[in-house]
Amino acid sequence: MRPADPSSSTPAIAVRDLRKEYRGGTAVDGISFEVSPGAVVGLLGGNGAGKTTTIAMIMGLVLPTAGEVRVFGVDMARDRAKILHRMNFESPYVDMPHRLTVRQNLTVFGRLYGVADLRGRIAELACELALEPLLDRPSGQLSAGQKTRVALAKALINAPDLLLLDEPTASLDPDTADWIRSHLERYRAERGAAILLASHNMAEVERLCDEVIMMKAGRIVDRGTPAALLARYGRDNLEEVFLDLARGRGRAAELAP
């Protein structure tokens, strides 16, 4: 599979004035950002900050009320079918069919994505993600950690140039979570893929991300490299920065407009 081209000038994701209103209120309120090819960007924010809605709009599963999402230059509201084979995602809001074995699930998704040498690709992923002993077990009989590895295998089946991850290590034990993060780091390094990651886990974001976008109540309240954010807020870790922003305390209160 051909690696992505991180030197390309077309952003992997370009979000412009994106807005989503539901009957109950505004979930995303006019945000704009870009993710360069090969970059890992973290969306950080509390519950209801708009992270999942933003990712769903980037995937084209939710239509924006206003604004635009382009993935590798393709307008997701109009032409998402043209680019879906270069993307993939993992989310706690979806699952894999429980009665199908891991191998059957990966076969179905591999064929949907038109993966060449699918048998070889499944074997490769099974080796990388330690799935060999699980391949012929029904997906519904796996533990949470095993399911996450299978979901990640599905997300990587087409070797995507853009990977969207919504809380990829939620509810995992620290060892499994660390293992998943290491794999994502390796995949990014080898493939040159862009990754957009929504997470509540500050250590995860700090470790994986080149840039962090802090969201609150549907808006972007700050952004920068993890180091820049730590310096700006005078904190030792992103968790403290997050709490400052969430509670409007410390340097966040001083920086607030």
Judged by the rule CB under 8 A, the positions of this chain that interact with another protein are 20, 22, 27, 52-53, 56, 59-63, 72-74, 81-89, 91, 93-101, 104, 107-109, 111-114, 138, 154
Q: Whole-number minimum distance, CB 171 to another protein, in Å?
A: 15
Q: Whole-number minimum distance, CB 61 to another protein, in Å?
A: 5
Structure tokens at 63: 């239509």
Phi, psi of 234 (to 5 degrees): 65, 40
Rank residues 23 and 257 by Cβ distance to another protein and give the closer one. 23
Rank residues 52 and 169 by Cβ distance to another protein and give the closer one. 52
Q: Whole-number minimum distance, CB 60 to another protein, in Å?
A: 8
- Please state, in angstroms and rounded to a whole number, the distance separating the CA atoms of residues 247 and 239: 12
Rank residues 82 and 251 by Cβ distance to another protein and give the closer one. 82
Rank residues 94 and 255 by Cβ distance to another protein and give the closer one. 94
Structure tokens at 180: 């998943």
Identify the three-state secondary structure at position 181.
Answer: helix
Q: Whole-number minimum distance, CB 182 to another protein, in Å?
A: 24
